[in-house]
Amino acid sequence: MQMKEITYKEALREAMVEEMRRDEDIIFLGEDIGVYGGGFGVSYGMIEEFGEERVRDTPISEAAIAGCAAGAAATGLRTIMEIMFSDFITIAMDVIVNQAAKMRYMFGGKVQVPMVVRCPGGSGTGAAAQHSQCLEAWMCHIPGLKVVAPSTPADAKGLLKAAIRDNNPVIFYENKLLYKTTGLVPTEDYVLELGKANITKEGSDITVVNYGRMLERCEKAAEILKAQGIDAEIIDLRTLYPMDKETIIKSVCKTGRALIVHEASKTGGLGGEISASIVESEAFDYLKAPIKRLAGKDVPIPYNPQLEKAVVPDTDEIVEEIKSLINR
Largest CA distance in the chain: 60
Q: With 0-12 CB in 10 A as exposed, 13-18 as middle and 19+ as buried, what is 61?
A: middle
Q: In angstroms, rounded to a whole number, what is the distance separating the alpha carbons of residues 213 and 248?
A: 19
262 assigned to active site: no
Q: In angstroms, rounded to a whole number, what is the distance separating the alpha carbons of residues 296 and 313?
A: 6
DSSP 33-64: -SSS--TTSTTTTHHHHHHHHHEEE--S-HHH
pLDDT score at 1: 82
Helix axes 153-165, 8-22, angle to 10 degrees: 30
What pLDDT, in 10s, does the model give residues 52-88? Answer: 999 999 999 999 999 999 999 999 999 999 999 999 9
Q: In angstroms, rounded to a whole number, what is the distance separating the alpha carbons of residues 246 and 202?
A: 16
Predicted TM-score of the model (pTM): 0.96
Beta bridge partners of 232: 206
What pLDDT, in 10s, does the model give residues 128-181? Answer: 999 999 999 999 999 999 999 999 999 999 999 999 999 999 999 999 999 999
Q: In angstroms, rounded to a whole number, what is the distance separating the alpha carbons of residues 249 and 270?
A: 15
pLDDT score at 328: 79
Q: With 0-12 CB in 10 A as exposed, 13-18 as middle and 19+ as buried, what is 224?
A: middle
62 assigned to active site: yes
**What percent of the chain has a predicted confidence (pLDDT) above 70?**
100
What pLDDT, in 10s, does the model give residues 204-242? Answer: 999 999 999 999 999 999 999 999 999 999 999 999 999
Active site residue: 62, 219, 263, 321, which one?
62
Active site residue: 14, 19, 82, 131, which one?
131
